[in-house]
Amino acid sequence: MAKTDTKAKSLDRRGLSDDQLRQMLRNMLLQRQLDNRGFQLNRQGKVPFALGSEGHEALQAGAAMAFARGKDILAPYYRDLGLALGVGLTPYEIMLSIFARAADHNGGRQFPNHYNSKSLGLMSFSSILAAHIPHAVGAAYSVVYRGETGRAVLVTCGDGTTSEGEWHESMNFASVHKLPLVMLVENNEWAISTPLDKQMAQPEIWKRAAGYGMPGKRFNGFDPIETYATVNEALERARSGGGPTLLEGMCYRFLAHSTDDNDMTYRTRDEVSEHRKNDPVPLFETALLEAGVVSEADIAMLKKEVLRETNEATDKAEAMPFPAPSDLYANLYEGAWQPWQ
């Protein structure tokens, strides 16, 4: 329950209501819970692979809040669990992909975390870094072509992906044609084992915007409210015909790249624990507590709910069948086409 006292007013909520603030916290907690569940299942031997997104919760909750559900288009990458949840993907759908069940959006064909949902405007993507970014540009072009004002494309990627040629080609085209696109780089400072200073000479990615003649901004990705305000501004600009924006949200990758990665081979525990002090989830809990937007009881309730949801989704998804072997051949083309007809 919100309390209207001096503490509550000290939170710069940038126009967000209590409900919206609570929604963001919920999103972050759910993301963390589902994230962990992946690793738990992996350690249980139930799924061969898990990939975490710890450290990105605030960034993704804030961005999701700015996203216009049912209108905007999202072109995420595989670390965007929170964003996917934030635009409407359910824990059940997430677990289906983790368990690689037939009912998964991708029929169990892709790695987990490769979300897609046509009805939510969540574009299908592959594991190939930056390959999805020209697709986002094409989607933005189609929005303009159809005269769909008030609609934008939010495309995300990690810091490492900005080295790919297709990232540059996409930024170039989007800026030439002033497309309604927001390029949100989630800079967690690591591309598997490659730190920023090996990835680029200019560590401030947002500065490249000048090279494309588009606005650019860097913000604190550990702050969901600031994230919301920044992404919202950029999305509004895009929706109203103001063209693309390059945003760089600073955060940190607390975990290894995936279950196939051992991050102690390239960084120290101390470094990670030092960054853990900025863990956005407990920080936002505290901020909302202090602002009187939530109580301790609220948070406990929230965590319980989130766990229950996660458990339900886990159990329901686990009970679903795998794809049949014959499913391997489906949906290659429309209709049955053999190489030799």
Partner 1 sequence: MAAVAVTAGSKVLNNVEAVRETLYEALKTDDRVIILGEDVGARGNVFLITKDFVNEFGAQRIIDTPIAEASIVGIAIGMAMEGLRPIAEIQFADFIYPAFNQIVGEAAKTRYRSNGEYTCPLVIRTPYGGGVRGALSHSVSIEALFYHVPGLKIVAPAFPADVKGLLNAAIDDPDPVLFLEHKKTYRLIKGEVPEGHYTIPIGKANVVKTGAQLTVVSYGLYVHWALEAARTLESEGVSVEVIDLRSIRPMDKTTILNSVEKTRKLLIIHEDNKFGGIGAEISAMVAENALFALDAPIRRLCGPDVPAMGYAEPLEHEFMSSPAQMADAMRELVKF
Residues taking part in catalysis: 253, 257, 266
Phi, psi of 54 (to 5 degrees): -60, 130
Amino acid at 71: K
Instruction: Report 58-77 residues binding partner 1 (CB under 8 A).
Output: 73
Closest by Cα among 13, 2, 84 to 226: 13
Q: Is 163 in the site for partner 1 (CB under 8 A)?
A: no
Q: Is 157 in the site for partner 1 (CB under 8 A)?
A: no
Amino acid at 185: V
Contact at 8 Å (CB) between 81 and 156?
A: no
Q: How far is the CB of 89 from partner 1 (least distance, A)?
A: 13
Q: Among the residues of 44-183, which ranges form H helices?
A: 57-66, 81-86, 91-99, 132-145, 165-176
> What span, in angstroms and rounded, lies between the C-alpha atoms of 245 and 196?
22
Q: Is 126 in the site for partner 1 (CB under 8 A)?
A: yes
Q: How far is the CB of 74 from partner 1 (least distance, A)?
A: 12
Site string for partner 1, 296-335 (x = CB under 8 A): ----------------------------------xxxxx-
Q: Is 172 in the site for partner 1 (CB under 8 A)?
A: yes
Among 131, 192, 200, 289, binds partner 1 (CB under 8 A): 131
Nearer to partner 1, 32 or 239 (CB): 239
By rule CB under 8 A, what count of residues binds partner 1? 46
Nearer to partner 1, 13 or 177 (CB): 177
Q: Is 140 in the site for partner 1 (CB under 8 A)?
A: yes
> What span, in angstroms and rounded, lies between the C-alpha atoms of 101 and 40?
18
> What span, in angstroms and rounded, lies between the C-alpha atoms of 309 and 31?
11
Phi, psi of 55 (to 5 degrees): 110, -20
Summarize as ranges the residues that interact with partner 1 (CB under 8 A): 73, 104-107, 109-110, 114, 116-118, 123-124, 126, 128, 131, 133-145, 165-166, 169-170, 172-173, 176, 330-334, 337-341
